[in-house]
């Protein structure tokens, strides 16, 4: 019987011509949750935002690969996958540039108050209610990067044209990056104390969950902003809201949230000193296509009996 490949349709943009590469090997179906009846027959799944945990895997006895459409795989229980001899793959590198671009869009969007300026032109400039929203220069500011990996390093690469001081913290030091981009290593607390702009580029792990909470926020400058294009739960939203409303920090620019989609009654949505985007940092036509191609190539390799090229690091020694 032909393999069945499921493509979760909460993934925005897996073009049919890209998925078509699987057609000679399998029946390919776009699915919307709940899709348990099909899951029971599926050999491969192109995973969007859904949680792939042991309960999910139990409902998928034939599954051999869970191919994440994205670099982050915190929603995939890799240990449970390995136990069931299911490959977990992801799409590293191809989205780093797009995410770094959006990080800069958020930084500049906040610093130059683009959302408010846009609203002013549409709603009140012509009525002489100009209320010109003044912003802040980048020149002389310190950009602090938490996590100097694939995406963090692209952010500091893009910073070379701005007159900013670059500092970072990571679990491992990156002497090559320090040399290449003039970025200085600091301990975590010092990174909090020195950053005018703190940009987060860590994966969501038990050690990073809530790392930007009350304590970290209390160390930051009153003029600082925090930018998050990594994972929502890295920031404790309640503590962030408190710091913002008490003016202990200047602002935030967020692409990711503790809960997604973030509810309309999230109090952060009411604040003017917050710029928001809907987890869209990788959402460009070019990048989403590259992500789709990479995820599809992982599934194709599996169906052809090869080891998928982008297996997550925790499965690096394993072949199923």
Binding residues for ligand 8YV (CB under 6 A): 11, 48-49, 69-72, 95, 279, 282
Bond before 11 cis per omega within 30 degrees: no
Closer to ligand 8YV by Cβ: residue 115 or 232? 232
Q: Which of 113, 279, 288, 293 is catalytic?
A: 279
Cβ at position 161, least distance to ligand 8YV in Å: 25
Closer to ligand 8YV by Cβ: residue 32 or 128? 32
Q: d(Cα 85, Cα 59) in Å, to the nearest integer?
A: 15
Q: Which of 68, 90, 113, 231 is catalytic?
A: 231
Residue whose beta carbon is closest to ligand 8YV: 70
Query: For residue 313, what are the contacts with CB-CB under 8 A and spacing of at least 6?
Result: none
Cβ at position 56, least distance to ligand 8YV in Å: 16
Judge whether 260 counts as a catalytic residue: yes
Cβ at position 155, least distance to ligand 8YV in Å: 15
Q: Do residues 237 and 265 touch, judged by C-beta distance below 8 A?
A: no
Closer to ligand 8YV by Cβ: residue 190 or 258? 258
Cβ at position 199, least distance to ligand 8YV in Å: 16
Cβ at position 193, least distance to ligand 8YV in Å: 29
Q: What is the DSSP string of the chain?
A: --EEEEEETTSS---HHHHGGGTTTEEEEEE-S--HHHHTT-SEEEE-S--B-HHHHHT-TT--EEEESSS--TTB-HHHHHHTT-EEE---STTHHHHHHHHHHHHHHHHTTHHHHHHHHHHTGGGT---------STT-EEEEE--SHHHHHHHHHGGGS--EEEEE-SS--HHHHHHHTEEE--HHHHHHH-SEEEE-----TTTTT-BSHHHHHHS-TT-EEEE-S-GGGB-HHHHHHHHHTTSS-EEEES--SSSSPPTT-GGGG-TTEEE--S-TT--HHHHHHHHHHHHHHHHHHHTTSPPTTB-GGGTT---
Judge whether 286 counts as a catalytic residue: no
Closer to ligand 8YV by Cβ: residue 18 or 192? 18
Closer to ligand 8YV by Cβ: residue 48 or 64? 48
Closer to ligand 8YV by Cβ: residue 70 or 149? 70
Q: d(Cα 89, Cα 67) in Å, to the nearest integer?
A: 5
In terms of C-beta density within 10 A (0-12 exposed, 13-18 middle, 19 or more buried), how is residue 207 classed? exposed
Closer to ligand 8YV by Cβ: residue 167 or 256? 256
Cβ at position 90, least distance to ligand 8YV in Å: 7
Q: Which of 58, 214, 247, 260 is catalytic?
A: 260
Cβ at position 19, least distance to ligand 8YV in Å: 15
Judge whether 3 counts as a catalytic residue: no
Catalytic residue positions, numbered: 231, 260, 279
């Amino acid at each position: 019987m032909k393999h069945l490949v499921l493509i979760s349709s909460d993934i925005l943009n897996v073009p049919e011509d890209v998925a078509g590469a699987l057609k000679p090997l399998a029946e390919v179906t776009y699915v919307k949750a709940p899709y348990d009846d099909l899951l029971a027959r599926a050999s491969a799944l192109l995973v969007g935002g859904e949680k792939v945990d042991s309960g999910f895997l139990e409902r998928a006895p034939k599954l051999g690969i869970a191919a994440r459409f994205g670099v982050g795989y915190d929603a995939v229980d890799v240990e449970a996958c390995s136990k069931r001899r299911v490959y977990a793959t992801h799409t590293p590198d191809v989205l780093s540039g797009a995410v770094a671009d959006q990080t800069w869009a958020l930084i500049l969007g906040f610093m130059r108050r683009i959302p408010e300026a846009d609203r002013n032109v549409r709603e009140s400039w012509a009525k002489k209610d100009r209320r010109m929203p003044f912003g802040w220069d980048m020149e002389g500011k310190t950009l602090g990067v938490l996590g100097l990996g694939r995406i963090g390093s692209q952010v500091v690469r893009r910073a070379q044209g701005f007159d900013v001081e670059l500092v970072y913290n990571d679990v491992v030091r990156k002497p090559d990056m320090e040399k290449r981009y003039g970025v200085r290593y600091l301990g975590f607390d010092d990174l909090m104390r020195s950053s005018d702009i703190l940009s987060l580029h860590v994966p969501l792990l038990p050690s990073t969950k809530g790392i930007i909470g009350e304590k970290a926020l209390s160390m930051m400058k009153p003029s600082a902003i925090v930018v998050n294009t990594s994972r929502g739960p890295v920031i404790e939203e309640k503590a962030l809201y408190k710091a913002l409303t008490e003016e202990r920090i200047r602002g935030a620019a967020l692409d990711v949230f503790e809960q997604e989609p973030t509810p309309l009654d999230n109090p952060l949505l009411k604040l003017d000193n917050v710029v928001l985007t809907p987890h869209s940092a990788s959402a460009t036509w070019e990048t989403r296509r590259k992500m789709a191609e990479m995820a599809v190539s992982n599934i194709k390799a599996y169906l052809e009996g090869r080891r998928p090229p982008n297996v997550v690091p925790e499965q690096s020694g394993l072949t199923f």
